[in-house]
Structure 1
Amino acid sequence: MTSLVHTLRDHRDDVNCCALSQSLLATCSGDKTIRVYSLQDFTELRFSPLSGHGYAVHCCCFSSCGRYLASCSTDALTKVWSMSTGEVVCALQHPARSPVRVCAFSPDAQYLLSGASDGTVALWQVPSKTLQRCSRVSEGTVLACCFSPCGQMFVTGSTQGELHLWSLNMSSLYIQREAHDLGVNCCQFSPQICMDGPAVKFRLASGGQDNQLRVWIVSQHATAGYVMTLTFTLSAQSAPVLSCAISFDGQLLVSGSVDKTVTVYNADGGELLHTFTQHDRYVTACTFSPCMLMFASGSMDKTVNVWRIEDGNAHSSECLQMTGTGRKSQGYSIMLVSDWSEEDVCDWLRDEGLEMLVDTFRAQNIDGTELISLNKETLDAYFNIESVGLRGKVMRKIEELRSTLMDSDVPDEFLCPVTRELMKDPVIAADGYSYEREALETWIRTPNHTSPMTNLPLQTNILTPNRSLKMAIQRWKASQ
């Protein structure tokens, strides 16, 4: 059973996109604003609406922790907003200054994609706020992009109709041409990863101008590389499918269409479960909650509807409780430590099991820069931490942060392509690239005997120590 629980009517123009985190709902519109609501009572947050874009806002998305929101606009900017203050963390201008139509965070929030009207996609590294790569991926407008749940690849879809699978270095892995006649409007991966013998499989949904919603299986094989296989096509809607989303458990699929309907399917077999007609114009957006059976739909009628799915066994509430406990949120991790606010420091203390010090650090107005400058003497003199063990624990955590801050400026050639961490024991593989020994040995032990960088078979598993690179890394560390 699915019920409409709330309708929002605050935007003054078309609703172009909506996004859900564990506790918040964000909506963006042609009226140039992003509005953010609490899911407890659907009241707007004190800093809403966000009005930093100069033109229509086309897309918005939360980081996995929910503490940051990205938005993109015709003004060629992709902005990242703090959900604790409403302030802009960074504003990323698309290299060609082309209107940005879609954006997506990687699962770990380390990367952000922005797809533009000129057919290019930019890949940004969020902590350093730097552009990693920008490439033309289509001759048409990029309207859809999403990361795989493993975060090691992403898909783009465009008005040319193809679905294109890419690695993080923007090497082409697979192209599904004519995935949708007349163009791809949306796509999203299921959060689940399936292991099938030597193959790793991901489920992908896409919607297009051909009025169809399609479900694909993206397979990574040790020898055959990447393959995209169509599992079924859903044709319940009579006009172009503009948006689609998959539930957190991978069981449900929702889509919105130009025919003004919202449809809900069983994602496994494609059975149509519900069709809703509450919107008066095109349904441009739909999104699932990351932790419970709730979804939102947005429309050109300027409204956003919030729906709840009851499955009769309290599954959604149980999942919400499991999601909220036993896991560090670490929303502050997408920024450099030196950029942390006082509230980010408090969040870090809670996640590290030091919540008893939150009030003390807040009273001293400790932000990220001041945090990494603390030493045992200042902790003893100004923070009144009498326990020697507790002082020691705090200092160990601060030393880890200092290491993190140092690593954030690491030259890219010092980072392992697999782990993206500073290499300690670099080795050269048969593909000519250098990797952290442990990471590549683990990679080789799996059925995947291809190069992590080229996706071509490794001719030999022999690893040669890269002593010159190791010495260069040691010299760089000493200089820091």
Structure 2
Amino acid sequence: MVKLIHTLGDHGDDVNCCAFSISLLATCSLDKTIRLYSLSDFTELPHSPLKFHTYAVHCCCFSPSGHILASCSTDGTTVLWNTQNGQTLAVMEQPSGSPVRICQFSPDSTCVASGAADGTIVLWNAQSYKLYRCGSVKDGSLVACAFSPNGNLLVTGSSCGDLTVWDDKMRCLHSEKAHDLGITCCDFSSQPVSDGEQDLQFFRLASCGQDCQIKIWVVSFTHVLGFELKYKSTLSGHCAPVLACAFSHDGRMLHILSGLLDKAVFVFQNTENILYTLTQHTRYVTTCAFAPNVLLLATGSMDKTVNIWQFDVETLCQARSTEDQLKFTEDWSEEDVSMWLCAQGLKDLVGIFKKNNIDGKELLNLTKEILADDLKIDGYSYEREAMENWISKKKRTSPMTNLVLPSLVLTPNRTLKMAINRWLETHQK
């Protein structure tokens, strides 16, 4: 069951975007303001609304830690805010001065992407606030963007209907027409899925557009096989433009995609079956967002309101029942485990796991002792420079366990890197 638990009506014009952190909800509007609310009781924070932009605010998003909020506007700026006191941390002006329509933090908090009406996309360093990389599409305004969960790819969508994929150096890897009348939104699921064709895992991407369709794509990128974007399916039959789409925050919470069109919100299970149709708004629904740690969905509309919807636990279990059987369970085959390792950047361990016949059941029972004693994997992280010096001295053992290393290939600990970047973000001056 889904029920409407709160309606926010503080904006004086259309609501363009809403976003959750762990403890806050942010909304922005054509009325030039950004508003912040506490998730505990949906009261507006004392330092809200945030005012700086001189024209409509099109998008807002939280950094992964939630301590910084980014907003972008027709005034050509992307602004970073301290969410704890509402102070501006930086004002980053689009080099061309063009209206900025979309902004997004990278998963590791190191960069902020901003896409503009002239087709330019800029990556800003989130610590120094300096321009890092930039690119541009051939035609149309940039109105959508999303980072892949591992941060290796950035996908942008244009008003001409093109999906463009960029690598982390802002090199264009691929571009194709996805929606005939223009893209309105795109979003990645954070959970990898098996494509069934290769010994790899991929990420689902959803896109929606003025053509009244929601399309599902499968995106992969490896240094061995390169980049690939595959069209998988279309959620069609809608009678109006689809203005926004979003997966649940962890990609698994409800296994749903939310398609917003006309005055209704459609909640899908497994990107196939409609679980609910929510019809409380009186004008076009323009935006949606899922909370990261509670069963909440926020929807914003041209009716100037933001509705907060709550899913009950029964709905959660119902939506999980099918796909959870495919997610990290004892039913996984050895090939499924190999796919998971590749998605985690641990491809060099595939051979070891296959040699030891590690399937889903074995994977769930792995301990640090088994990794070290049986698989010869020590489970420790080291500074790259220190480990390279260690190996350069022809030492083939683990510095911590003194066990022989099965491979000298160094694998980055992305989780640790993200934790460090978030700590730096939190404690920056």
> How far has the Cα of 1:223 moved from its partner?
4.5
Deviations 1:388-410 (A, max 9, x none): xxxxxxxxxxxxxxxxxxxxxxx
Partner deviation per Cα, 1:157-190 (whole Å, 9 max, x = no partner): 0012111111111112222x22111111100111
In structure 2, the CA distance between the partners of 1:440 and 1:122, relative to structure 1 (3 Å rule), is farther
Normalised to the residue count of structure 1, the TM-score between the two structures is 0.64
Q: What SS does the corresponding residue of 2:314 show, helix, strand or coil?
A: coil
The DSSP-based 3-state class of the residue aligned with 2:13 is coil
RMSD, matched Cα? 2.3
Matched ranges for 1:452-471 at <5 A = none
Give the letter aligned to residue 257 of structure 2: L
Are the equivalent residues in 2 in contact too, given 1:189–1:203 (CA < 8 A)? yes
2:222 matches 1:254: no
CA gap 1:199/1:83 in 2 versus in 1, 3 angstroms = same
Match of 1:277 in 2: 279
User: 8 Å contact 1:200–1:220 — kept in the other structure?
Assistant: no
Please report how far the alpha carbon of residue 193 of structure 1 lies from its aligned counterpart in structure 2 after TM superposition. 2.9
**Does residue 226 of the first structure (1) align with residue 248 of the second (2)?**
no
Cα deviation code 1:313-345 (max 9, x no counterpart): 8879xxxxxxxxxxxxxxxxxxxxxxxxxxxxx
Between stretches 144-153 and 305-314, larger displacement belongs to 305-314
Distance 1:440 1:35 in 2: 51
Q: 2: distance between equivalents of 1:314 and 1:157?
A: 31
Aligned residue runs from structure 1 range 157-176, under 5 A: 157-175=157-175
SS of alignment partner, residue 312 of structure 1: helix
Q: Deviations over 1:371-398 (max 9, x none)?
A: xxxxxxxxxxxxxxxxxxxxxxxxxxxx
In structure 2, do the counterparts of structure 1 residues 209 and 423 end up closer, same or farther at CA, with 3 Å as the change threshold? farther
Q: State whether residues 120 and 138 of structure 1, in contact with CA within 8 Å, keep that contact through their aligned partners in structure 2.
A: no
Q: TM-score, normalised by structure 2?
A: 0.72
For the residue of structure 1 that corresponds to 2:206, the secondary structure is strand
| In 2: Cα distance, 1:20 partner to 1:44 partner | 14
Counterpart position of 1:137? 137
Give the structure 1 partner of residue 371 of structure 2.
none
AA partner of residue 99 (structure 2): P
Instruction: Report the counterpart of residue 102 of structure 2 in structure 1.
Output: 102
* Cα distance in 2 between the residues matched to 1:212 and 1:261: 14
- Matched ranges for 1:174-185 at <5 A: 174-175=174-175, 177-185=176-184
| Structure 1 residue matching 2:71: 3-state secondary structure | strand
- Give the equivalent residue in structure 2 for 1:364: none
C-alpha displacement at 1:138, in angstroms? 3.7
- The answer as to whether partners of 1:73 and 1:101 remain within 8 angstroms in 2 is yes
Q: Distance in 2 between matches of 1:286 and 1:56?
A: 18
How far 1:422 sits from its partner (Å)?
Answer: 8.8
Residues 32, 53 of structure 2: 8 Å contact kept = yes
The letter of the residue matching 1:23 is S
Gaps of 5+ in 2: 319-382, 390-406, 413-429
Q: CA deviation at 1:293?
A: 2.2
3-state SS in 2 of match to 1:285: strand
Question: What residue number does 2:397 align with?
Answer: none
Aligned identity (percent) is 50
Could you say what secondary structure the match of 2:309 adopts?
A: strand
Shift of 1:290: 1.6
Any residues of structure 2 matched to 1:55-74 within 5 Å, and which? 55-74=55-74
Higher relative contact order (CA closer than 8 Å, sequence separation 6+): 2
